Amino acid sequence: MRDYPSNKRMMLFSGSSNPELTEKIAQVLGIEVGKVTRTKFKNGEIYVKFDESVRGADVFVVQTCSDPVNDHIMELLIMIDALKRASAGMINALIPHYGYARQDKKSEGREPITAKLFADLLSVAGVDRVIVVDLHSAPIQGFFDVPVDHITAIPIIARYFRSLKIENGVVVSPDVGGVKRASIFSRQLHFPLAILDKRRPAPGIAEIEHVVGDVKGKVAIIFDDMIDTGGTIVEAVEMLFKHGAKKVYAAATHPIFSGDAVKVLEESRLEEVVVADTLPIKKNFNPERIKVLSIAPLLAKTIKKVYHCKSVSELFKGENLV
């Protein structure tokens, strides 16, 4: 880790994945987004050049792992390398959605642990700190040899649902692995918790067999860290209605929305889908069916705390944010 300069200054730069989110963060911080030249050679290689001095600065690079994921990861690594070679004081990678997070362990022989590989690549590139939002699994933090600030959008999403003044609600975890996450969400809403018994016969395919808990006559909120194709959510909705749910909402931090996910969700029996803007939604969607909440104020607050060397534990716990 490089030495801290005595004349600290903050600089914010954006990758190409979600510049709109970076602009919102900059507005909250009251600073300008730094200028970067980005281009591609004809063979697809990425070129990045910072158009202003970063020497001795605390630099925050915002890059989420949206489609095309591999291009955005490579661009982030190149930006970190450029900052290191330009003598930046501290290099902070703010990654709202951490790529390859679902490949965090070996379930069978001869499989990779790609979430660890990504962490290694960031370290080798020269990052000093990583800031992430709602990792698919918290142990991914241990893949890094640099500090990781893991914050959560749960309070922001919970505040929205409190504004709906739902009575007789229940929070539903879509699988056993998401119980802890859903439990935190349910406590913030003061709702009971139910769990779906989901099995994965193959990657990307899920089957729901049972509902553990009482959902009859209740307003159910399915809560997860991400929504990809939407197929599992729609299957969960039908299962909940089959068990007597009155209404069903879905909420998640990361709107991956692969393929026809937007269409699938909008044509489902869901009342509403609530997500954060950790990823840009590149397809047209009905704002009355899909509600996008901004986490820019949360990320700006995190940047301020990191820059001023203050504790971010309350952000990790998801307390006192809203």
Catalytic, 198? Answer yes
Choice among 8, 105, 180, 198 that is catalytic: 198
Least trusted range by pLDDT, from 93-97, 115-119, 155-159, 232-236: 232-236
71 CB contacts (<8 Å, ≥6 apart)?
A: 46
* 124: pLDDT strictly greater than 90: yes
Q: What is the mean pLDDT of residues 46-63?
A: 98
Each residue's pLDDT tens digit, 200-218: 666 656 667 689 999 999 9
Looking at residue 202, its pLDDT comes to 63
DSSP string covering 136-162, please?
Answer: SSGGGGGG-SS-EEEE--HHHHHHHHH
Residue 316 class from Cβ within 10 Å (0-12 exposed, 13-18 middle, 19+ buried)? middle
CA distance 224 to 111: 25
Looking at residue 210, its pLDDT comes to 82
Q: What is the mean pLDDT of residues 4-33?
A: 91
* 168: pLDDT strictly greater than 90: yes
* Residue bearing the bigger pLDDT, 223 or 198: 223
CB atoms within 10 A of CB 241: 15
Element containing residue 223 per DSSP (H, E): strand 219-227
* Residue bearing the bigger pLDDT, 8 or 71: 71
Looking at residue 317, its pLDDT comes to 54
**Three-class secondary structure of residue 115 per DSSP:** helix
Q: How high does pLDDT run on average in the chain?
A: 93
Looking at residue 322, its pLDDT comes to 40
* 319: pLDDT strictly greater than 80: no
Domains (range + CATH), the chain: 10-152+296-317 (3.40.50.2020), 154-293 (3.40.50.2020)
Looking at residue 321, its pLDDT comes to 47
Q: What is the mean pLDDT of residues 77-102?
A: 98
Looking at residue 313, its pLDDT comes to 79
CA distance 169 to 173: 13
